[in-house]
């Protein structure tokens, strides 16, 4: 059975500009919305615990041996650009052909639901621990900028739609 390790953000200190919650809360809501869709598609999953540390998350993902490690986050701009940047950024480990392939599926499906598709980006990265230290191909999806009013509003208002796009991306990546 195909599998995914869901790793919603642990960052409860990243509050949304709208005041409507924080990164950890909304990324867990998206993971919660993904769960029944994954079961429906026959994809098994494990997920992190909000009290885990990043090294524990990586170790548990590696122990599970999933087909993909999927970290869910929302982003914030550097202080001098706070509120000015928008769009999902899908990171994968530089040099991982499977990570790049997965990232492209996720980006294409997010482009279908994000208000400005041209702002959806696929970005290689060689330093993020969740990409670098997981054995499975991994992506880190920064789904929107929580310091931007429009992005925060979109993310909060489209939890189900985002979950559906992410699961569709998994189905495509896993060839189901």
Residue 118 and residue 32: Cα distance in Å, rounded?
28
Per-residue pLDDT of the chain (176 residues; tens, 9 = 90+): 999 999 999 887 777 887 778 899 999 999 999 999 999 999 999 999 989 999 999 999 999 999 999 999 999 999 999 999 999 999 999 999 999 999 999 999 999 999 999 999 999 999 999 999 999 999 999 999 999 999 999 999 999 999 999 999 999 999 97
Query: Do the Cβ atoms of 164 and 37 come closer than 8 Å?
Result: yes
DSSP 21: -
- Torsion (CA) 125, 130, 131, 133 in degrees, nearest 10: 120
Provide the whole-model pTM.
Answer: 0.96
CA distance 95 to 151: 30
Helix (H, G, I), strand (E, B) or coil at 66: coil
């Amino acid at each position: 059975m195909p599998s995914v390790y869901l790793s919603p953000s642990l960052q409860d200190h990243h509050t949304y500009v709208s005041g409507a919650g924080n990164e950890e809360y909304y990324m867990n809501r998206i993971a919660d919305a993904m769960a029944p869709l994954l079961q429906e598609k026959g994809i098994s999953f494990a997920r992190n615990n909000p009290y885990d540390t990043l090294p524990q998350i990586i170790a548990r993902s590696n122990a599970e041996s999933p087909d993909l490690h999927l970290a869910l986050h929302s982003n914030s701009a550097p202080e001098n650009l706070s509120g000015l940047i928008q769009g999902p950024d899908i990171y994968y480990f530089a040099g991982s052909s499977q990570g790049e392939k997965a990232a492209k599926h996720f980006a294409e499906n997010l482009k279908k639901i994000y208000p400005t598709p041209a702002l959806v980006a696929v970005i290689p990265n060689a330093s993020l621990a969740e990409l670098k230290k997981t054995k499975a191909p991994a992506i880190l999806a920064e789904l929107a900028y929580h310091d931007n009013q429009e992005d925060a509003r979109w993310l909060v208002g489209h939890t189900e739609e985002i979950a559906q796009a992410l699961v569709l991306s998994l189905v495509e990546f896993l060839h189901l």
